Amino acid sequence: MGVLVGKQAPDFKASAVINGDIKADYNLSQFKGKKYVLLFFYPLDFTFVCPTELHAFQEKLKQFEEKNVQVIGCSVDSHYSHLAWTNTPKKNGGIQGVTYPLVSDLNKTIARDYDVLIDGAGIALRGLFLIDKEGVVRHQVVNDLPLGRNTDEALRMVDALQFFEKHGEVCPANWTEGKQTMKPDSTGLKKYFA
């Protein structure tokens, strides 16, 4: 598994479904210099853990937007499959109500570029990448297929990154907004543990 943290996020241009509409040339680079991006991969439309995750991100979407974060989902399905799934009610296993972009990676190049493609299976692991405004991956986590993600943890990582960028202090284990941070030196560590 490749580690992309500290590297430029691989750009892409692909079809995407956004709030019920198909956009042909959706690309990552449009956010550079403007927004943070939370790009997450999921295995397939019309499956089981996936809709729980997509709805969970939708439920927290306003919080991400308030932090200037663009949430983007991506799978190896076609944009037609994405559109059909967004038109399927939640009670029937659909993701009706999901408004953030769902990118179609039908040729599997995006999943391959982010090193989450499962060889031989043709689907992606549950990869999540937090990309800063300069297009650099600052956080990544990859889950196996049966393990759903935690949207609150994704928000916490956004908070930690933005706090560090603004104040230059680092965020210790289990840090949440409003808790103690530290200067990144031995004096800061001693003060933190004092």
In the annotation, is 74 catalytic?
A: no
What residues form DSSP beta bridges with 63? none
Catalytic residue among 4, 9, 17, 50: 50
Question: What is the edge-to-edge ordering of all strands in the sheet holding 126-131?
Answer: 21-27, 13-18, 102-104, 69-75, 36-41, 126-131, 137-143
Cα–Cα distance for residue pair 32/133, rounded to 1 Å: 5
CA dist 2 and 113 (Å) reads 9
- Residues serving a catalytic function are 50
